[in-house]
């Protein structure tokens, strides 16, 4: 249980896939325009990550090393198709607003990186917890970014108006340039905070 807690803190903060490892940027920038999109995207990617981690860990002794990347991609693509179809059936509005970024979870660097670096070398239970930790970390980063972007760029959070009518939203923040800018600032701020915490822990 303690090991899982350590993995969770690792995935959320010290080794956050987006903010520290700096992978999986494409969906982060594109789907963080609103909190609803961010949560939907984060949880879908987390679901695929957990399932693919488990399956790859189960099959890790059978997959030959030469074709392992192709095998991982097939397994991940299978789960992405399942998630895509489920979303189209039960959450059609979210599926439309996320657009083609759901099928693009297949090439999400995070899932392939965790499969290569962790699931192919560790037990099923450890891979399951790693998938949960990294998936939650990804969702956390997405939510942080999207709260910031939606609040300033739209005046709402999850569609609920927060600022009054007199607030003129800075729309460029929810468009492409704003995405780059906010993510850059967020990564810088996050790493500064992490460094300060590490320094305090050491002293």
Partner 1 sequence: MSFVEIISLSLAAILVENFIFVKFLGICPFIGVSKKTDTAIGMGLAVIFVMTVASAATYLVNQYILIKFDLNYMQTVAFILIIAALVQFVEMFLMKMIPSLYQALGIYLPLITTNCAVLGVALLNVTKELNFIGSVINGCMSGVGFAIAIILFSTIRERLVFADYPKAFEGFPIALVSASLLSLAFMGFQGLTVFK
Considering only 29, 35, 51, 115, the residue that binds partner 1 (CB under 8 A) is 29
For residues 84-103, which are near partner 1 according to CB under 8 A? 84-85, 100, 103
Token output for 13: 């903060």
Considering only 22, 117, 162, 197, the residue that binds partner 1 (CB under 8 A) is 22
How far apart are CB 79 and partner 1 at their closest, in Å? 10
Residue 24 contacts residue 46 (beta carbons within 8 Å)? no
Residue 52 contacts residue 75 (beta carbons within 8 Å)? yes
Q: Which stretch binds partner 1 (CB under 8 A): 8-16, 45-53, 54-62, 77-85?
A: 77-85
Q: How far is CA 200 from CA 7, 20, 125, 196, 203, in A?
A: 21, 19, 33, 6, 5
194 counts as binding partner 1 under rule CB under 8 A = no
DSSP 45: H
Q: Report the candidate in 52, 26, 13 with the shortest Cα–Cα distance to residue 197.
A: 13
Considering only 74, 86, 162, 170, the residue that binds partner 1 (CB under 8 A) is 74
> Hey, which residues does 160 pair with through a beta bridge?
157
Considering only 77, 126, 143, 151, the residue that binds partner 1 (CB under 8 A) is 77
d(CA 190, CA 203): 20
Q: How many CA atoms lie within 13 A of 127 on its CB side?
A: 26
DSSP of 91-122: -HHHHHHHGGGTGGGGG-HHHHHHIIIIITTS
Site string for partner 1, 148-187 (x = CB under 8 A): ------------------------x--xxxxxxx-xxx-x
Residues 6+ apart with CB under 8 A from 55: 75, 79
Q: Which stretch binds partner 1 (CB under 8 A): 8-16, 70-78, 117-125, 127-135?
A: 70-78
Considering only 8, 25, 87, 94, the residue that binds partner 1 (CB under 8 A) is 25
Of 8 and 30, the one with the shorter C-beta distance to partner 1 is: 30
Binding residues for partner 1 (CB under 8 A): 22-26, 29-30, 69-70, 73-74, 77-78, 80-81, 84-85, 100, 103-104, 106-107, 109, 112, 172, 175-181, 183-185, 187-189, 191-192
């Amino acid at each position: 249980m303690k090991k899982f807690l350590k993995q969770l803190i690792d995935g959320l903060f010290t080794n956050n896939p987006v903010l520290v490892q700096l992978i999986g940027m494409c969906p982060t920038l594109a789907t963080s325009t609103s909190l609803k999109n961010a949560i939907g995207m984060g949880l879908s990617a987390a679901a695929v990550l957990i399932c693919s981690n488990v399956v790859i860990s189960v099959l890790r002794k059978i997959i030959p090393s030469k074709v392992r990347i192709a095998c991982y991609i097939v397994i991940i693509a299978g789960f992405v198709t399942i998630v895509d179809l489920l979303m189209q059936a039960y959450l059609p509005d979210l599926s439309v607003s996320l657009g083609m970024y759901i099928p693009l979870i297949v090439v999400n660097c995070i899932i392939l990186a965790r499969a290569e670096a962790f699931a192919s070398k560790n037990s099923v239970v450890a891979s399951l917890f790693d998938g949960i930790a990294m998936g939650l970390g990804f969702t956390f980063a997405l939510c942080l970014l999207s709260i910031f972007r939606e609040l300033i760029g739209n005046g709402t959070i999850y569609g609920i108006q927060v600022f009054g009518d007199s607030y003129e939203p800075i729309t460029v923040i929810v468009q492409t340039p704003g995405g780059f800018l906010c993510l850059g600032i967020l990564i810088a701020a996050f790493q500064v905070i992490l460094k300060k915490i590490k320094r305090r822990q050491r002293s």
